[in-house]
């Protein structure tokens, strides 16, 4: 931990430290604002669908090796809510939920979002 006055002195002498600190703060603030936007203006089913779509694209696999609790933590939600939504998706034949993971069964993006809405790659 660095005190405020010590950081101010070092960052005045070295602009790279100041730039790094500001870029880090902006990045974290942007992440917080993105989560707030998701929570305030998007329903949980859409948030979960976007998360699963993004995670599948990131890993290059239809199987997401995360538990309901882990998904909930990433999304800023409760495990019970994620579990309930995954059960709904499973009932619709969109995903298969197993211990420690979720498998996307069919291309559900166009079914759920009706195209390119919400910036999801269908």
- Give the pLDDT of residue 44: 87
* CA distances in angstroms from 10 to 6, 16, 19, 92, listed in the order given: 6, 10, 12, 57
Please identify which residue in the block is written with the tokens 């599948």.
56
* Residues 13, 101: Cα–Cα separation, whole Å: 49
pLDDT at residue 107 in the model: 62
The answer to whether the Cα torsion of 67, 69, 75, 81 is positive or negative is positive
The closest alpha carbon to 68, from 42, 45, 101, 94, belongs to 101
* The two three-digit tokens of residue 10, written as one number: 């070092």
Using a 10 angstrom Cβ sphere, with 0-12 exposed, 13-18 middle and 19 or more buried, the burial of residue 102 is buried
Per-residue pLDDT of the chain (122 residues; tens, 9 = 90+): 889 899 999 999 999 999 999 999 999 998 888 777 766 777 888 889 889 988 998 999 989 999 999 999 998 889 999 999 999 999 988 899 998 899 988 765 555 555 444 444 44
- Determine the pLDDT at residue 1: 83
Q: What is the pLDDT of residue 116?
A: 47
Nearest residue to 97 via CA among 82, 111, 112, 110: 82
In the numeric block, which tokens belong to residue 91? 């009932």
pLDDT of residue 36: 78
Predicted pLDDT of residue 76: 85
What was the pLDDT predicted at 53?
A: 87
């Amino acid at each position: 931990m660095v005190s405020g006055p010590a950081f101010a002195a070092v960052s005045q002498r070295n602009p790279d430290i100041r730039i790094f600190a500001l870029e880090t703060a902006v990045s974290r603030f942007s992440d917080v604002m993105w989560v707030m936007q998701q929570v305030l203006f998007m329903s949980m089913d859409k948030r979960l669908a976007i998360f699963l779509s993004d995670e599948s694209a990131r890993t290059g696999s239809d199987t997401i090796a995360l538990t309901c609790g882990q998904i909930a933590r990433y999304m800023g939600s409760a495990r019970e809510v994620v579990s309930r939504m995954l059960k709904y998706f499973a009932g619709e034949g969109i995903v298969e939920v197993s211990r420690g993971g979720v498998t996307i069964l069919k291309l559900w993006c166009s079914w759920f979002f009706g195209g390119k809405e919400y910036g999801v790659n269908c």
